[in-house]
Amino acid sequence: MSRRRARPRGPRRASCPSGKVRFRDRIAATLALATIQHDDRPGRPKVEARVYRCPSCAGWHLTSSRPLRR
């Protein structure tokens, strides 16, 4: 009997007009953000700062821009 490989639980490579990596929910995006911040290497030009819901694909993305203060 052959074993099937489980599908990876990471980011979905679904289509988004922005071309960014799409995460299926806020939890997955937040976990990816925490991993990136924990494993951050000095000298990286951009550091992701937060997650946001994309109005185009209804998925979640990471961005390096800080939220606007009101």
Is 28's pLDDT higher than 90?
yes
Is 69's pLDDT higher than 80?
no
Match 């990286």 to its residue by tokens.
44
Residue 39 host element (H or E): none
Alpha-carbon Rg for the chain, nearest whole angstrom, is: 15
| Predicted pLDDT of residue 10 | 55
Number of Cβ within 10 Å of residue 47's Cβ equals: 11
End-to-end CA distance of the chain: 60
Helices (H) and strands (E) in the chain, counts: 1, 2
| Structure confidence by residue, pLDDT tens digits, 32-64 | 999 888 876 777 777 888 999 999 999 999 998
Is 18's pLDDT higher than 70?
yes
